[in-house]
DNA sequence: ATTAGCACTCTAACGTTAAGAGTGCTAACA
DNA sequence: TGTTAGCACTCTTAACGTTAGAGTGCTAAT
């Protein structure tokens, strides 16, 4: 790929900025006027022609201004954008919003999704942090009526599974406590593969409970990601390029259809470094329904322990500087939470 | 309100059905042709005129067919619609989908929201079942590193709160177990008001834990509804009457903005009877953003113990028979779940 | 290398027109 | 008295033609 002259970079950058602001194609004459360039429109036109040949700009039709192509946006994001960091005032405001929260990961995810969506005017998504390897931590059995027992399984990292079990035989609360304590001691720190090595003479009820535990842990291991929080879907709809088109609906459908979304997330190579941000522009050729959209994703959490994904989906014509620094900031926020809790 | 002749009812009913199917205004001539009526279009026209005078129909413009008004839909739903019950085949299919689920209320809500949204082609919403009065059931304290302790509070009905507490003083796991057991016995069945009657010489740590418990229970009491599950928002967008308009966006915004949604739910009088269904048509005058939408709501759960709300939001031009019976069915499904678990 | 000038192209907006659908009214009919 | 045929009228929608404006690419001059 031919490298561009500094003037060409300057012009490309201005066009991207102007188009993001106005949503309209930008022409040579307006460009020089608006930014007080000491060049004539004709010169700018020549450069724009070169950029068009290079595949970074295109014209919606012969007599319209230029619009960045996917490739143009990519070049902009990768080479031209000045890495803005989030203004301290905004950091402070957001931190304040979270300072009054309980320590519940669910609540944090919800609030993060909401604030991120509002500040970026995009749809936001967050997947729950997923432990790299699920390990047993604690078991509690609480009798209800009859043979009904509320079983609570605590996994390392604080994940909690609860279920009402109908026992095969009636058991007193006394006995339940004994079983709980026994299992909690014997199984502590064991992963799915080592749960069933726990072989001793077991009562029917103990066997039943153990089966349930193993089942839950295996299931937690297998589900690649758990819950997904979405917010701000309607933000995307208010963008002018989606006014009344099917495009937006199909893009949002991608988010709502969790299985498709999981595909997308698992097929995307995220930078391993926490705080690293991946920008997908225009579906990157693979996702037809995202041709007009861009996605910004970041992994968060504690590598090797538990990680999740946070990101936004907005129109390709989005304010990348802002959005990227916001995603990065929230990624850090949730990482801190996870590190502190796990 | 003047009562209508049987023929007028018949015609109103046909118009509603036809308009729901076609999304277009329906004219007298097409009506007689399509349904093979042994009346002339002129007669039908006269009746349509009467129905228009009665406020049940309107014309988008002079030379267009008729469309039901809000009032017209209301009359239809209340008086004309034959109460269809869900076909057994569909019941069976849905039951089957749920038969393989774990007993987790979250999972059930999610699946129910998804299936309900798909089958009604509308947006669906479900609020988590909320206990009528929150009562303590069980406490568990599990030591982590240092003074960090994972506190798990089980409320009657199976609601679980967890939080990582930083204790004021270091405490061994032994002591934690003793505290857990003591609290679990002494506080069992107590509600928020009676938690603090538990006055005995308390250690610093015990006091700290007790404060936390009280706090959590009060908070649970005060929050009128907890989590809200949404699904199928994009379904609404594909309706022709919303093609490219702001209307749909604003209606969906109402759902996404949880605080507004809670307002709406709390201001709506739901039939107390479980399985009863409330139909709100066109925002019922109060909700401007819902002028083109209808909402079908039903309370589910176990009255006096724990209840939640389930419902859908779709275009006013929706298939009420289908939708109502689906909402009713899912309401029953979740009620059964709650009754069984609580 | 840059720029002024100009012919050219294409869109968006506007007005006109014609076709089609549906109505309301009147007068005839059973 | 209820029903129907006929007809003039209204209004939307699509199609077409026109025009103003914006932006371009090219050429020739600086």
CB burial of residue B224 (10 Å; 0-12, 13-18, 19+): exposed
Cβ(B254)–Cβ(B261) below 8 Å: yes
Question: B244 CA to chain A: closest CA distance, Å?
Answer: 3
Residues A61 and A208 both lie in one domain: no
CA B68 to C1' C24, in angstroms, rounded, equals: 20
Chain B contact set for A142 (CB, 8 A): 137-138, 154
Mutate to test the interface with A, among B249, B259, B341, B342 (most CBs of A within 10 A): B249
CA B68 to C1' C25, in angstroms, rounded, equals: 24
Chain B contact set for A238 (CB, 8 A): 249
**How does DSSP assign A132-175, residue by residue?**
SS-BEEEEEEEE-STTEEEEEEEETTS-EEEEEEE-SS---HHH
Cα–Cα distances (Å) from A279 to A80, A309, B114, B146, in that order, read: 14, 13, 30, 40
Flag whether A149 is in a domain. yes
Q: What are phi and psi of A63, to 5 degrees?
A: -105, 35
Residue A225's pLDDT band (cuts 50, 70, 90): low
Question: Where is the domain boundary, A222, A240, A256?
Answer: A222
How do A130-131 and A306-315 pair as beta strands?
A: antiparallel
Residues A229 and A321 both lie in one domain: yes
Q: How far is CA B226 from its chain centroid?
A: 13
Please check whether strand C approaches the CB of B15 to within 7 Å: no
Read off the CATH number of the domain in which B282 is found: 3.30.450.40
CA A52 to C1' C15, in angstroms, rounded, equals: 38
Partner residue facing B256 (CB), from A158, A162, A231: A231
Bigger pLDDT: A230 or A135?
A: A230
Smallest CA–C1' separation from B48, nucleotide: C23
Mean local confidence (pLDDT), B236-246 = 82
Residues B251 and B293 both lie in one domain: yes
Cα–Cα distances (Å) from A43 to A59, A63, B198, B283, in that order, read: 18, 17, 84, 57
**Calpha distance B245→B247 (Å, rounded):** 5
For CA atoms B258, A123, B253, B310, the dihedral sign is negative
**What element of type H or E holds B131?**
strand B130-131
CB atoms within 10 A of CB A21: 12
Query: In B175-263, which ranges are E strands?
Result: 228-231
Cβ(B316)–Cβ(B294) below 8 Å: yes
Partner residue facing A234 (CB), from B138, B238, B256: B256
Cβ(B304)–Cβ(B259) below 8 Å: no
CA A36 to C1' C1, in angstroms, rounded, equals: 20
From B244, B246, B326, B229, select the one nearest B291 (Cα to Cα): B246
Phi-psi region of A154 (alpha: psi -120 to 50; beta: other; left: phi over 0): beta
Residues B182 and B209 both lie in one domain: yes
Read off the CATH number of the domain in which A163 is found: 3.30.390
Looking at residue B259, its pLDDT comes to: 86
Inspect the interface and report whether the beta carbons of A137 and B138 lie closer than 8 Å. no
Looking at residue A342, its pLDDT comes to: 64
Residues B120 and B254 both lie in one domain: yes
Q: Which nucleotides of D are covered by protein (CB under 7 A)?
A: 3-6, 9-12, 21-27
Residue B234 has pLDDT above 60, yes or no: yes
From A307, A305, A299, select the one nearest A275 (Cα to Cα): A299
Chain A contact set for B154 (CB, 8 A): 142, 150, 152
Residue A124 has pLDDT above 60, yes or no: yes
For CA atoms B36, B41, B47, B53, the dihedral sign is positive
Looking at residue B28, its pLDDT comes to: 95
Flag whether A192 is in a domain. yes
Q: How far is CA B298 from its chain centroid?
A: 6
Residues B163 and B216 both lie in one domain: yes
Inspect the interface and report whether the beta carbons of B163 and A104 lie closer than 8 Å. yes
Mean local confidence (pLDDT), A158-165 = 78
Flag whether A92 is in a domain. yes
Looking at residue B287, its pLDDT comes to: 87
**Calpha distance A159→A117 (Å, rounded):** 26
Interface of B with A (CB under 8 A): 102-104, 137-138, 140, 142, 150, 152, 154, 158, 160-164, 231-234, 237-238, 243-245, 248-249, 252-253, 256, 340-341
Smallest CA–C1' separation from A38, nucleotide: C2
Looking at residue B253, its pLDDT comes to: 92
Residues B332 and B257 both lie in one domain: yes
Residue A29's pLDDT band (cuts 50, 70, 90): very high
CB atoms within 10 A of CB A340: 11
Q: The tokens of B245 are what?
A: 């308009």
Residue-averaged pLDDT of chain B: 88
Residue B225 has pLDDT above 60, yes or no: no
Q: What percent of chain A has pLDDT over 90?
A: 49
Mean local confidence (pLDDT), A3-32 = 94
Residues B142 and B211 both lie in one domain: yes
Return the exposure string of A168-187: e unless at least 16 CB atoms fall within 10 Å of the residue's CB, then b: eeebeeeebeebbeebbeeb
For residues B69, B70, B73, B74, the Cα torsion angle rounded to the nearest 10 degrees is -140
Q: What percent of chain A has pLDDT over 70?
A: 95
Q: Which of A32-36, A81-85, A197-201, B244-248 has the lowest mean pLDDT?
A: A197-201
CA B52 to C1' D6, in angstroms, rounded, equals: 24
Residues spanned by the domain of B297:
88-128+225-341
**Calpha distance A29→A48 (Å, rounded):** 12
Q: What are phi and psi of A302, to 5 degrees?
A: -125, 110
Q: What percent of chain B has pLDDT over 90?
A: 49
SS3 of residue B278 by DSSP: strand
CA B251 to C1' D7, in angstroms, rounded, equals: 45
Please check whether strand C approaches the CB of B30 to within 7 Å: yes
Residue A170 contacts by C-beta under 8 Å, 6 or more apart in sequence? A146, A147
Question: Where is the domain boundary, B192, B222, B252?
Answer: B222
Nearest protein residue to nucleotide D21 (CA to C1' distance) is: A63
Residues B182 and B107 both lie in one domain: no
Interface of A with B (CB under 8 A): 102-104, 137-138, 140, 142, 150, 152, 154, 158, 160-164, 231-234, 237-238, 243-245, 248-249, 252-253, 256, 340-341
Looking at residue A274, its pLDDT comes to: 67
Question: A164 CA to chain B: closest CA distance, Å?
Answer: 7
Flag whether A1 is in a domain. no
Residue B144 has pLDDT above 90, yes or no: no
CA B34 to C1' D4, in angstroms, rounded, equals: 19
Bigger pLDDT: A321 or A162?
A: A321
Flag whether B247 is in a domain. yes
Flag whether B1 is in a domain. no
Phi-psi region of B210 (alpha: psi -120 to 50; beta: other; left: phi over 0): alpha
**What element of type H or E holds A300?**
strand A293-302
Mean local confidence (pLDDT), B66-81 = 96
Read off the CATH number of the domain in which A38 is found: 1.10.10.10
What is the arrangement of strands in the sheet containing A136-143, beginning at the earlier edge strand? A136-143, A148-155, A160-166
Q: The tokens of B246 are what?
A: 């702001």
What's chain A's length in residues?
Answer: 342
Flag whether B282 is in a domain. yes
Flag whether B113 is in a domain. yes
CB burial of residue B217 (10 Å; 0-12, 13-18, 19+): buried
Inspect the interface and report whether the beta carbons of A104 and B237 lie closer than 8 Å. no
Residue A224 has pLDDT above 60, yes or no: no
Which DSSP letter does residue B282 get?
G
Count how many domains chain B has: 3
Residues B124 and B142 both lie in one domain: no
Residue B248's pLDDT band (cuts 50, 70, 90): confident
Q: The tokens of A255 are what?
A: 């988010």
Smallest CA–C1' separation from B45, nucleotide: C23
CA A41 to C1' D30, in angstroms, rounded, equals: 16
Nearest protein residue to nucleotide D9 (CA to C1' distance) is: B63
Looking at residue B273, its pLDDT comes to: 67
Residues B103 and B72 both lie in one domain: no
Packing angle between helix A88-99 and helix A105-120, nearest 10 degrees?
150
**Calpha distance A9→A3 (Å, rounded):** 9
Comparing alpha-carbon positions, the chain B residue that sits nearest to A161 is: B104
Mean local confidence (pLDDT), B218-234 = 78
Residue B170 has pLDDT above 60, yes or no: yes
Residue B2 contacts by C-beta under 8 Å, 6 or more apart in sequence? B54
Q: The tokens of B120 are what?
A: 């009604």
CB atoms within 10 A of CB A151: 22
Question: Each residue of A247-293: pLDDT tens digit?
Answer: 888 999 999 998 888 888 888 877 766 668 999 999 887 888 999 99
Q: The tokens of A177 are what?
A: 């406590």
Residues A203 and A185 both lie in one domain: yes
From A310, A306, A312, A314, select the one nearest A332 (Cα to Cα): A310
Question: Where is the domain boundary, B156, B189, B222?
Answer: B222
From B290, B306, B189, select the one nearest B247 (Cα to Cα): B290
Looking at residue A331, its pLDDT comes to: 96
Residue A128 has pLDDT above 60, yes or no: yes
Looking at residue A1, its pLDDT comes to: 53
Looking at residue B16, its pLDDT comes to: 97
**Calpha distance B319→B16 (Å, rounded):** 10
SS3 of residue A47 by DSSP: helix
Q: Which of A294-298, B41-45, B246-250, B294-298 has the lowest mean pLDDT?
A: B246-250
CB atoms within 10 A of CB A7: 14
Question: Each residue of B88-136: pLDDT tens digit?
Answer: 999 999 999 999 887 778 889 999 999 999 999 999 999 998 877 778 8
Please check whether strand C approaches the CB of B262 to within 7 Å: no
- Residues β-bridged to residue B298: B277, B310
Question: B152 CA to chain A: closest CA distance, Å?
Answer: 9
Residue A281 contacts by C-beta under 8 Å, 6 or more apart in sequence? A70, A73, A74, A77, A294, A316
Q: Residue A213: CA atoms inside 13 Å, Cβ hemisphere, count?
A: 33
Mutate to test the interface with B, among A256, A259, A339, A342 (most CBs of B within 10 A): A256
Bigger pLDDT: A215 or A57?
A: A57
Residue B200's pLDDT band (cuts 50, 70, 90): confident
Chain B contact set for A185 (CB, 8 A): none
């Amino acid at each position: 790929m031919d490298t561009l002259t500094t003037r060409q970079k300057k012009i490309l950058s201005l066009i991207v900025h102007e188009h993001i602001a106005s949503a309209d194609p930008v022409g040579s004459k307006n460009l020089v006027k608006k930014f007080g360039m000491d060049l004539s429109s004709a010169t700018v036109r020549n450069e724009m022609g070169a950029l068009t040949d290079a595949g970074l700009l295109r014209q919606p039709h012969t007599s319209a201004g230029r619009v960045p192509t996917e490739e143009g946006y990519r070049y902009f994001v990768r080479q031209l954008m000045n890495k803005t960091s989030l203004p301290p005032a905004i950091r402070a405001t957001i931190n304040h919003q979270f300072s009054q929260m309980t320590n519940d990961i669910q609540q944090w995810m919800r609030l993060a999704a909401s604030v991120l969506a509002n500040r970026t005017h995009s749809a936001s998504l967050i997947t729950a942090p997923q432990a790299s390897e699920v390990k047993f931590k604690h078991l509690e059995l609480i009798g209800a009526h009859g043979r009904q027992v509320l079983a609570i399984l605590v996994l390392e990292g604080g994940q909690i599974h609860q279920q009402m079990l109908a026992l095969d035989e009636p058991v007193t609360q006394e006995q339940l406590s004994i079983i709980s304590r026994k299992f909690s001691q014997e199984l502590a720190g064991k992963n799915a593969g080592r749960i069933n090595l726990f072989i001793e003479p077991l009562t029917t009820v103990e066997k039943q409970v153990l089966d349930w535990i193993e089942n839950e842990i295996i299931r937690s291991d297998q589900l690649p990601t758990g819950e997904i929080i979405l917010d701000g879907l309607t933000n995307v709809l208010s963008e002018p390029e989606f006014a009344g088109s099917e495009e937006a609906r199909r893009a949002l459908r991608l988010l709502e259809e969790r299985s498709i979304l999981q595909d997308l997330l698992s097929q995307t190579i995220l930078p391993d470094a926490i705080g690293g941000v991946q920008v997908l522009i225009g579906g990157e050729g693979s996702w037809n329904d995202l041709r007009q959209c861009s996605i910004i994703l970041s992994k968060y959490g504690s590598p090797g322990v538990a990680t999740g994904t946070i990101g936004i989906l907005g129109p390709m014509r989005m304010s990348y500087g802002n959005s990227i620094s916001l995603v990065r900031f929230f990624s850090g926020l949730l990482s801190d939470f996870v590190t502190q809790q796990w």
